[in-house]
Amino acid sequence: MTDAIVLVNKRADGLAEVTLNRPEIHNALNEHVNRRLVEIFLDLKHDPGVRFVSLTGAGVSFCAGADLDWMRRTSSYSQDENMADAIVLANMLRGIYELPKPTIALVNGPAYGGGLGMTAVCDVAIGVKTASFTLSEVKLGLVPATISPYVVQAIGPRQARRYFLTAERFDARKAMELGLLHEVVEDQAALLAARDKVLSALRLGGPGAQAASKDLIFAVQERSIDEAVRRDTARRIAEARATSEGKEGIAAFLGKRKAAWVP
């Protein structure tokens, strides 16, 4: 069943655990996985019981990129067929990136090509020290196209010029240095502990404010601080102050008590 290629565990504490479940081929992507992820993240977006999402891979790998059978089939596709196929991948990445809820990538092993892209689209990325990364597309005569906006945003255009062109493999420490990972930990147990620490911090924030903060980042990144940006950001804080969540947060702070959303 296609449902089994990606597992979803919605916990009572508001965390949805999403696991790529093709360990026998290192959780490689294909059109079925991509479509399933589109469905899953659309469901998580609209599920009021879900506040946070973690993404990882079953077995020893996070995601090895495109699987060989999928690559073989796409090489015989027409231009229109390839375009339709690539749009699904692009939509999958966008669905994770724009999810109005905090996302955490738990990189438990190699993350190549599309797997590296899936690391970049998450809000927080934590990896084990044995994780490795590569953008190997040029070795196949291809380009890291649909993942490029997110990877360039994560590591910057200067570093992208090296790693897009050389397809060099780099380790977790280098990934953190480049800005792809926020944290590197010892092993799987430490990975889960690091996730729980991040979740503890996230639970203190208002869910509406977190969604609005993500949208704020999208609105201001790489823009000049002109009159339009100044007015837009002023509008956003004015609107936030007027929300019930904003009023509750300020009242809780002044009253020296927990806000209503804090467990």
Percent of the chain surpassing pLDDT 70: 99
Contacts of 31 (CB under 8 A, 6+ apart): 70, 85, 88
Question: Domain limits of the chain?
Answer: 2-202, 207-254
Contacts of 152 (CB under 8 A, 6+ apart): 160
pLDDT, tens only, 73-100: 998 999 999 999 999 999 999 999 999 9
Contacts of 221 (CB under 8 A, 6+ apart): 153
Instruction: Name the residues annotated as catalytic.
Output: 137
* Cα dist from 55 to 11, 30, 69, 87, whole Å: 14, 17, 24, 21
Are 156 and 101 in contact by the 8 Å Cβ rule? The answer is no
- The pTM of this model reads 0.96
pLDDT, tens only, 33-65: 999 999 999 999 999 999 999 999 999 999 999
CATH number of 2-202: 3.90.226.10
| CA pair distance 82, 214, nearest whole angstrom | 31
**Which strands make up the sheet holding 132-134, listed edge to edge?**
111-112, 132-134, 170-171
pLDDT (mean) for 168-180: 98
Helix (H, G, I), strand (E, B) or coil at 49: coil
Res 1 pLDDT > 60: no
pLDDT at 116: 98
pLDDT, tens only, 138-150: 999 999 999 999 9
Read off the DSSP letter of residue 77. S
Stated as kind and residue range, the H or E segment containing 103 is: strand 103-107
pLDDT at 118: 98
Q: What is the mean pLDDT of the chain?
A: 97
| CA pair distance 258, 61, nearest whole angstrom | 39
pLDDT at 98: 97
Are 154 and 217 in contact by the 8 Å Cβ rule? The answer is no
Percent of the chain surpassing pLDDT 90: 97
| CA pair distance 123, 181, nearest whole angstrom | 10
pLDDT at 3: 72
Res 182 pLDDT > 70: yes
